[in-house]
Chains A and B, each alone.
Chain A
Amino acid sequence: MTRNNSIISGLDWWTIALFLAIALFGWLNIYAAGYTFDQTSMFDLSNRAGKQFLWIGIACVLGIAVLFIEGRTYEVTAYLIYAFWLLVLLATPFLAHNTKGSMSWIDIGPLKFQPAELAKMITALALAKYMGRFDYKVRSWRDLMIPFMLLALPAGIIMVWQSETGSALVFASFLIMFYRFGMSGYVLTGGLSFALLFIVTIRFGEVALPLGTGSVGVLLCYLVLMAVVVGFAWLHEQDGKNTLILCGIIVFCYAAGLIANIWLNVNFNLVSLIALLATLAYFTGVVIYRRRFLMLLVTAYVAVALLFCQACTIVFEKVLQPHQKTRIEVLLGLKDDPAGAGYNVNQSLIAIGSGQFTGKGFLQGTQTKLRFVPEQDTDFIFCTVGEEWGFLGSAGLLIVYLIFILRLLSIAERQRDNYSKIYAYCVAGIFFFHLTINIGMVLGLLPVIGIPLPFFSYGGSSMISFTILLAILLRLDAERLNKWQ
């Protein structure tokens, strides 16, 4: 018992308090979202608020149970559970009910359960075990190969096999942990730049240039890529001579294009392509001549990005499903369809905006109460906060989340062993990712990707898995003082 006492005294009560505050405020808002005019009690199990209260209770009991399990248990069994869970994920579509086109829910008795929710935690534990070894260190990209495989396997299964794009995307949150433990920052910025290139290509791909032929999107993308090349040349070549030559090549190409345009109808897409290829060729030549082979990565990046830009349109037109395509088009302002694909987000913005500074008051929201916002107690629950609690309430909730995530980061940093620290970063990353995607979607800043707001959205499966995810971290954190290291 003495050991358990020391666990309790070592628990991070700040985190627990924040967790309870978020969960109970969420429960209140689920009640408000489902509130109609003949509403029964908040504890009535026939409505969603009552059920959520039950879920919170169950999650707490399970969380407390997890607190009694020794941290080493996970370390020992991590791979085993990981392998087992991959099998469960593979088997899910066969056991699943077809809920809204995705095949990720299975029934356990009277309850429905989504194995993908727990997959994040299990993957985090497996990653922690692999990367937490004494002899593990990120020295080159090869060291990240296996961790990357560990997260790509479940993510791939969930995306391809279960058609749950949202749940699969969450695995990208582990990149934050990779970054903390040595992955190059270029990978993250590179990834983000690809997203940016995609957006620019799609958004401005059809916008014609005022001169000649060609599109604004292509010009912008190629100019950015040329800037990358020139930028790296400038950073790594002290004399600046090559930078000048590169700029000269670009200016020459466009000047030639503009002059030719007086007589001919010049295709500026082609001019940009020639300019980019010329700069890239000169840059690569210099790099090889100077034997700075690492800089070839820049060449590779630009080449891949170039291909990516070409592929974007094809991917957009051919690979994406129509509803995903429309969502992206609406988000980028290419289509205005407040009643169709943009309906959710449009109604969500109306609900939040109508809350004004102080909100309409608890149970006073008309938009959520009258069901204008679809999914208002699950993915769009933040609307209810926005409408009924106003700017004060919704900004307040975001600050509570901010404190919660910062607290998790500080917990991560105070771990003495890599195993706990890696796991802690995974947990913080997952919460951060969920928050970003969910709120970004509700505020109309990101496309509609259906993932829940942790501890807040209605749903037993997510409530329980988030709680267990957090409980394991709390146990590991409480044990840190006992570690001999």
Chain B
Amino acid sequence: MTNDPYTKRPFIIAGSVVLVVLIFIIRLFWLQVIDQSQKAKADSNALLRQVVYPSRGLIYDRNGELLVFNQPIYEVTLIMQEMRHGFDTVAFCQCLGIDSLEFADRIAAIKDKRRNRGFSTYTPQIFMSQLTKQEVASLRETSYKFSGAGIRKRTLRGYSYPYAAHILGSVGEVSQSDIDRDDYYQAGDYSGRDGLERTYEQRLRGTKGVEVIMRDSRGRIQGSYHDGAEDVEAITGTDLHLSLDIQLQALAEQMLQGKVGSVVAIEPATGEILALASSPTWNPEILVGKQRSTQYNRLLNDPSKPLLNRATQAMYPPGSTFKTIQAVVCLQEGGINPYSKFPCNGPGSTPIKCTHHHGSPVDLLGAIEQSCNPYFWCAFHDMLQRDGFGDNNAVFRARYNLWRDDVMKFGLGSRFTNTDIGEQSPGKIPLEREYNRTYGEKGWKAITIRSLSIGQGEVLVTPLQLANQAATLANRGYYITPHLNTELTDNPDLRHETGMNDKWFDLTAQGMHQVMTNGTGRWYNIDSLQMCGKTGTVQNPHGKDHAIFIGFAPMDAPKIAVAVVVENAGFGATWAAPIASLMIEQYLTGTITRKHIYNKMVNSVLEHPSSEKTDSN
């Protein structure tokens, strides 16, 4: 081995070995130290962050009756990517009791990006949902055979009673906008869509937990990661205790059957809503599970608009029930005094005729009892124009604003705030500005707005506001904002004073008592319950008059205030008073003795413009 002419070559060879290893080390440094994307990919590879759904809070009524609970359902999910490793479609279909055609349809539906925006071959996709325990039992036993298939447990709402659908609301899948707004949600999550489920979504839903589990390349679960150290336990939603009395609610809904209208009952001292019924309504069960979307669409397209919560959203002129407020306000602001009397000419009265025949002249108690229109027109007129009109009508308009402010102290003309009733309409007590626009600043006076004196014309109220008005009268001058969650009751912000003299309230209550003993409510009075009430029959350009009634009882220590509206029914004394009367009896005595009235109300079906429209189609 002498004369080796290639003595440089060993170094070239060794150099290239060093070079290759150096390239590898640089590459390793890049992959492991500089480029962080591989780490994230590894986690998504191996770690499955499985959401643990908390159970939703339960809902109880004021007597501790369970109204809304949870029932388990199951959904079958598939991960397309993992189905590649030989998936026995036939056996899978057998397990679920479907045929291969349905299987193909469902797979096509999953893969359709238009219908399934969150499609990915790497994440579990819902193949079948809302299955019962029995339906998934055979798949559960053999699921190890089907790589990529999984079973998830979810909960649906269940209802003990077929009532209070509007109040309770429903739970459905979150929309894309919910997901965008609140990153708590992921596609496929459930949330409260309306009613209390929506208002109290945050407390009812609880907090989702996370279980970090490891899975192998074929998606098989290999156990928890770091022995569950990174898991987060799900926190169960907080229960809700409502002020609702489900027996009273049931009675209200039964009596509204076949009619369009609403009933609201409030405990005056606390503002707690005892019943809040709107008709037509639906059984809350139908908006649960598989049938939810079809049933929801059916309700949405129903011409009688069942989804509308008439008790809080419908607005009506208050009619004669408004005379109770007029009485208090006119006494307070000096339009009348307790001894004022006005003559009544019956139907021949001007400018407003009276619908009743009674003695003349009448004092305040008689006017309330007999619902005398001329009396309240005169009282309203005297109240507004007591000091004349002033320059440019300014004094008159100041009196109008004083009147408007007083009326609004009864909770009319705007939505209730700080309460848990989501869907409300504001009602309307007209602004000075609106009349100025119509008639000019100097162009209107008491006679122009005379309809207001008897609760017709531009004034609009919701049944909830009517019930609150009854509660204010019952309380002799204050109200607690109506609410459903009993936890709100002690909130001092909810108490609203009218600041008017107790005497005027006592007088009005006396008048309302006379309504029940001698006046328009006398057919539905129960003496022992000291009922107070006021009927109303509201003219309505679209059809028959609306029947309205407000009332409370007992007169001296009121326990319940009620408002009833039955659309297109006719006289308030005929259709609204009996419902209110039975509600009061049920709540105060726990039973109803006048079965015949109950039966009549339950069985009567009234024509409504919306149903006529469908007939003509």
- Residue on B nearest A425 in the bound complex, by CB: B13
Give chain A residues whose Cβ lies under 8 Å from the Cβ of B10: 180, 409, 412-413
Apart from A181-B6, A182-B6, list 16 A-B contacts with CB within 8 A. Answer: A180-B13, A347-B217, A353-B31, A353-B38, A366-B47, A370-B222, A371-B218, A372-B45, A372-B216, A386-B31, A395-B25, A405-B17, A406-B17, A406-B18, A409-B10, A443-B28
Interface residues of B, count at CB 8 A: 39
B29 within 8 A of A: yes
A370 & B21 in contact (Cβ 8 Å cutoff): no
Q: A357 — which chain B residues lie within 8 A by C-beta?
A: 32-33
Residues of A within 8 A of B (CB): 36-37, 176, 179-182, 339, 347, 349-357, 366-367, 370-372, 386-387, 390-391, 394-395, 398-399, 401-402, 405-406, 409, 412-413, 415-418, 421, 428, 432, 435-436, 439-440, 443, 445
A371: min CB distance to chain B, Å: 5
Q: Can you show 25 pairs from A to B with CB atoms below 8 A apart?
A: A37-B223, A180-B10, A181-B6, A352-B32, A353-B35, A353-B38, A354-B38, A355-B32, A356-B39, A357-B32, A366-B45, A366-B214, A366-B225, A367-B45, A370-B216, A370-B222, A371-B218, A372-B46, A386-B31, A394-B32, A395-B29, A399-B21, A409-B10, A409-B17, A435-B21
In the bound assembly, the distance between CA atoms of A439 and B218 in angstroms comes to 26
B28 and A421 form a contact (CB under 8 A): no
User: Is B215 located at the chain interface by the 8 A CB criterion?
Assistant: yes
Residues of A within 8 A of B43 (CB): 354, 366
Within 8 A of A (CB), among B13-38: 13-14, 17-18, 20-21, 23-25, 27-29, 31-33, 35, 37-38
Q: How many angstroms from the CA of A367 to the CA of B32 in the assembled complex?
A: 14
Q: Is B114 engaged at the interface, CB distance under 8 Å to the other chain?
A: no
B1 at the interface (CB under 8 A from A): yes
Which one of B21, B28, B222 lies within 8 Å of A391 (CB-CB)? B28
Instruction: Verify B222–A443 contact, CB threshold 8 A.
Output: no
> Does B5 count as interface, using CB distance less than 8 angstroms?
yes
Q: Are A37 and B222 in contact (CB under 8 A)?
A: yes
User: Which residues of B have CB within 8 Å of A339?
Assistant: 81
Instruction: Give the secondary structure class of B's interface.
Output: helix
Q: Which residues of the other chain, B, contact A406 by a CB distance below 8 angstroms?
A: 14, 17-18
The reply to whether A180 and B6 form a contact with Cβ atoms under 8 Å apart is: yes
Query: Is B41 in the interface zone, CB < 8 Å from A?
Result: yes
- State whether B25 touches A398 (Cβ < 8 A): yes
A357→B6 CA distance, assembly (Å): 41
Q: Which residue of A lies closest to B40 (CB)?
A: A354
B39 lies within 8 A of A354 (CB) = yes
B9: interface (CB < 8 Å): yes
Known: A366-B42, A367-B42, A371-B217. Contact between A356 and B33, CB under 8 A?
Answer: yes
Chain A residue nearest to B46 in the complex (CB): A366
A371 to B216, Cβ gap below 8 A? yes
Q: Which residue of A lies closest to B226 (CB)?
A: A364
**Contact assessment for A179 and B32 in the assembled complex, using a CB-CB cutoff below 8 Å:** no
A435 contact set on B, CB distance < 8 A:
20-21
A351 touches B42 (CB 8 A): yes
Q: How far is the CB of B225 from chain A (nearest CB, A)?
A: 8
Complex contacts, B6 vs chain A, CB 8 Å: 180-182
Looking across the interface, which residue of chain A has its beta carbon closest to that of B20? A436
Shortest CB-to-CB span from A444 to chain B, Å, is 8
B28 contacts across to A, CB distance below 8 A: 352, 386, 391, 394-395, 398, 443
CB distance from B13 to the nearest CB of A (A): 6
Smallest Cβ-Cβ distance to A408: which chain B residue? B17
Q: Mark B37-74, 1 if CB is under 8 A from A, else 0.
A: 11101110111000000000000000000000000000
